[in-house]
Amino acid sequence: MTPNILLLGGTTEAASLARALAATGLRATVSLAGRVARPAPLPLPLRVGGFGGVAGLVDHLRAEGVTHVVDATHPFAAQMSANAAAACAETGVPLIALTRAEWRETGDDRWVRVPDIAGAVAALDRPAARVFLAVGRMHLAAFAARPQHDYLLRLVDAPVSPPPLPRHRVVVDRGPFGLEGDMALMRAHGTEIVVSKNAGGTGAFAKIAAARALGLPVIMIDRPAVPPRPEAHAPEEVLRWLGHGADLGV
């Protein structure tokens, strides 16, 4: 059977895999949720938007004759990962996830670990501070419960409507970010606390390294649970799983 791969993307790692897949000449399509206005160009055909839950994804896999699904979504995209696992189980389409290791606290870090966004909001129940709220645009509304803080928001796109936080500054930028730049940004804002998801990987790590270098506390949000599935940690492992590693000498 000729492979026809569906790559669930939206991450730096998915973009790397897309480039590796394109180099093999295998048939593959990247799927994005459509959250970002101008996604970085990829060398594979693109589809954009939700499938319509598990049932919609099952229909898509059947209609498109998908032979393999690679879930390279962000570790906090737990709904999509759960849907992919369920749809692949229902259709018998093989699934692999391209994942990245969590960040680990070192002796030089000052982390407060919380289980979820609500835990981060609870941890900010304290006197006003200057907070680098690096959680992306989707969860800003939850922090309206802590209006006393002065928030630094870094977003991929300029917000269409103002974030519901009375005191905030928006920086529009997309990763990968660097240590020096993030230290300069946090110094300019006078950041006292960083709030971050434990995304793992390198593209978003600079703010954690910058907090470490500046001696700042980080409210670190643990990853949501996702169903068990086979995992790869590098594009080459996915190519091997697809049976194409040898072609590339990997």
Q: Tell me the C-alpha to C-alpha distance, in Å, between residue 116 and each of 2, 142, 217.
A: 41, 11, 17
Instruction: Report the chain's C-alpha Rg in angstroms.
Output: 19
Interface residues for ligand NAP in 178-217 (CB under 6 A)? 197
- Name the strands in the sheet holding 130-134, side by side, starting at the edge strand that comes first in the sequence: 110-114, 217-221, 193-197, 130-134, 150-155, 168-172
Q: Tell me the C-alpha to C-alpha distance, in Å, between residue 9 and each of 12, 28, 74, 102.
A: 8, 12, 8, 18
Should residue 29 be labelled a site residue for ligand NAP when binding is judged by CB under 6 A? no
Should residue 176 be labelled a site residue for ligand NAP when binding is judged by CB under 6 A? no
Q: Closest distance between ligand NAP and the C-beta of residue 246, in Å?
A: 29
Q: Closest distance between ligand NAP and the C-beta of residue 74, in Å?
A: 3
SS3 content of the chain, % helix, strand, coil (to 5): 35, 20, 45
| Site string (127-156) toward ligand NAP, x via CB under 6 A | ---------x-x------------------
Exactly one of 43, 45, 56, 190 binds ligand NAP (CB under 6 A); that residue is 56
Q: Closest distance between ligand NAP and the C-beta of residue 98, in Å?
A: 11
- Name the 3-class secondary structure at 245: helix
The amino acid at 241: W
Using Cβ positions, the residue closest to ligand NAP within the complex turns out to be 50
Q: Closest distance between ligand NAP and the C-beta of residue 187, in Å?
A: 25
Q: Closest distance between ligand NAP and the C-beta of residue 249, in Å?
A: 29
Of residues 56 and 243, the one with the C-beta less far from ligand NAP: 56
Quick one: which H or E segment has residue 248?
A: helix 245-248
Of residues 31 and 99, the one with the C-beta less far from ligand NAP: 31
Interface residues for ligand NAP in 57-76 (CB under 6 A)? 57, 73-74, 76
Query: Cβ distance 160 to 65 under 8 Å?
Result: no
- Name the 3-class secondary structure at 5: strand
List residues near ligand NAP by CB under 6 A: 8-11, 31-33, 35, 50-53, 56-57, 73-74, 76-80, 83, 136, 138, 197
